[in-house]
Structure formats: structure tokens, C-alpha cells
Amino acid sequence: MEFEQLALERRSTRGFKPDRIPQEVIDEIVTVAKHCPSSMNTQPWYLHVVTGDVLDRIRTGNTEAMTSGVAPNREIRGHGRYEGEHRERQKRVAAQLFEAAGIGWDDKAQRQDWAMRGFRQFDAPVSMIGCIDRDLHDSTEAYFDLGQFFYGLVLAAWDRGIGAVINGQGIMQSAVVREHANIPEDQLIVITVAMGYPDDEFAANQVVSERRPTDEIVTYLGFDD
Ligand SMILES: Cc1cc2nc3c(=O)[nH]c(=O)nc-3n(C[C@H](O)[C@H](O)[C@H](O)COP(=O)(O)O)c2cc1C
């Protein structure tokens, strides 16, 4: 696929067929993604790709922790609650997803069920856990680098007919993820991505999220000189 088509057509996938992704295909995806730029070519990322029993243990552990009221224990600093225009955009995409999934905005039980799907990595056959070297935990560049690597992963996956959703919920209980995925102590858990072949019957997979107008994002200077 041409890059522009790929970038414009990609969207997050939150409903998956159970089919496993062959390990060789995952290897190809990672090999494409690792060509992203990184600060001083440090390439500070690590990827732990889990499937089968290991992923099931993470799903179960996340679910038990969330339902029994264990406080979230991420290893990264979070933003807290979004406010203002960020909150409005968060609500807008949630409304689009809930509408597609037939979830009433005020239906707490259905919304809770949707949230639990996120903690189960959307029941995807594969989850990738993204880490950086722990000694770079204060380096904003390292998180920027990992973000680029993850965008490469989701684009390379989409190019092969594989859907994905980058999933912050997946590391909300990082102690669970660390234990079952056997993450080395010198790595910091930052993010996950759930990946698999899209279930086309899952209506929320068709949601096209909105984007801010380009002229609101960009300030041009010196072009009229
Ligand atoms: C850092 C990050 C964390 C995310 N965490 C979640 C998440 O926990 N649950 C979820 O459903 N989507 C999550 N997403 C996906 C975003 O909601 C999605 O990318 C955004 O709404 C734009 O939609 P699109 O990917 O379909 O273009 C996350 C995306 C990023 C980049």
C-alpha cells in the first residue's frame, strides 16, 4: 500500500478474529517498524510479544486486579484526567465507539463491560508490550522514540491486513504484566498494542475517528516574506 493511503485508512481495531498471527509475520512487522528514527539512533525500545497461555494469564490477572479494586500501578507518569478540548475529543471518540457498539452513554454496566475488554487486550490473539531502558526513564526523547516505533508497528500490521489498537489500559496493572511476561528489571513498561486479524462483524472496528483541521494545528511563519 502507498504510505498516504495507509496513513489515511488505518484505524484502531478493537474486535479480533481468534486466528493467531504467524511468528514470521510478526517478525516482518517489527523489522519494518524498527526503521523509524530515534534520538541519536539510540533505539531504546524492547518488545515482548505474548500470545496463548501467557497472554491469557495477563488477561485474567488484569481483570482480577481491576475488579477487586487494586489501584492502577503503571510504571510511567500519567496525565490524570483530561480537561477542556482534550476531554471533549476523548468524549467524542468514546461516543462514536459506544454508538457503534450499541452501548448507551448512561448504561454503566455496558460501559464497564467495554472498559474490561480493554484490560483483556480486547481479546486479541497477540499483545505486544513496549518497554524502554529503565535508565532512560527521565528522557522524554525515549518515550517519543517508542511512540514512533509503535506507529510503525500498527502501520506495518495494517499493510498486511492485521488490525491493532495501541492500548494504555493494557499496562494499567503493570505488576501483572511484568510478572507473567517476565519483563527484565532494567526495562520500564510503557505501553501495549493489541493485534490480530480484524473481525469485520465488530461494528466499532468501522469507526473513523475525527481529526482537528490542519490550519488549527499549524502556524506558518515567514511564508509571505
Ligand atoms: C498512547 C495511546 C494509548 C491508547 N490507549 C487506548 C486504550 O487504553 N483503549 C482504547 O480503546 N484505545 C486506546 N488508544 C487508541 C486511541 O483511542 C485511538 O488511537 C484514537 O481514538 C484515534 O483513533 P484511531 O486510532 O482509530 O485513528 C490509545 C492510543 C494511544 C496512542
CA-to-CA separations, 63 to 124, 192, 198, in angstroms, rounded? 15, 16, 23
Confidence band (pLDDT; 50, 70, 90) for 1? low
Query: Distance between alpha carbon 97 and the CA centroid of its chain, in Å?
Result: 16
Q: Using the structure block, give the residue that is written with the C-alpha cell 500519567.
A: 78
**What's the rounded mean pLDDT across residues 60-74?**
95
For the CA of 118, the closest atom of ligand 1 is: 9
For the CA of 170, the closest atom of ligand 1 is: 8
Q: What is the dihedral of CA 193, 194, 198, 201, to 10 degrees?
A: -120
* pLDDT for position 35: 98
Number of Cβ within 10 Å of residue 57's Cβ equals: 15
Q: Who contacts 81 (Cβ-Cβ below 8 Å, separation ≥6)? A: 87
* pLDDT for position 78: 86
Q: Who contacts 30 (Cβ-Cβ below 8 Å, separation ≥6)? A: 47, 153
Joined grid coordinates for residue 191: 505501553
**What's the rounded mean pLDDT across residues 12-16?**
98
**What's the rounded mean pLDDT across residues 4-28?**
97
**What's the rounded mean pLDDT across residues 81-86?**
96
Q: Find the 168 Cα to ligand 1 centroid distance in Å.
A: 8
89-118 tens-digit pLDDT? 999 999 999 999 999 999 999 999 999 999
Report strand pairing: 163-167 vs 126-133.
unpaired
For the CA of 191, the closest atom of ligand 1 is: 1
Q: Find the 98 Cα to ligand 1 centroid distance in Å.
A: 14
* pLDDT for position 184: 98
29-62 tens-digit pLDDT? 999 999 999 999 999 999 999 999 999 999 999 9
Joined grid coordinates for residue 61: 490477572
* pLDDT for position 111: 96
Give the residue from 51, 64, 34 showing the smallest Cα distance to 128: 51
How many secondary structure helices (H) and strands (E) does the chain include?
A: 8, 4
Asked if pLDDT for residue 75 goes beyond 90, the answer is yes
Asked if pLDDT for residue 87 goes beyond 70, the answer is yes
- 3-state SS class at 92: helix
Interior angle at CA 105, CA 7 and CA 111, nearest 5: 80
Cβ 90 vs Cβ 82: under 8 Å: yes
- 3-state SS class at 26: helix
Q: Find the 211 Cα to ligand 1 centroid distance in Å.
A: 13
* pLDDT for position 225: 83
169-222 tens-digit pLDDT? 999 999 999 999 999 999 999 999 999 999 999 999 999 999 999 999 999 999
Residues flanking ligand 1, CB < 6 Å = 11-12, 14, 93, 118, 165-169, 191, 209
Long-range contacts of 8-11 (CB under 8 A, 24+ apart): 9/158, 10/154, 10/155, 10/158, 11/205, 11/207, 11/208, 11/209
> Which residue's CA is minimally distant from atom 29 of ligand 1?
166
Amino acid at 30: V
Query: Distance between alpha carbon 85 and the CA centroid of its chain, in Å?
Result: 22
113-152 tens-digit pLDDT? 999 999 999 999 999 999 999 999 999 999 999 999 999 9
Cβ 181 vs Cβ 51: under 8 Å: no
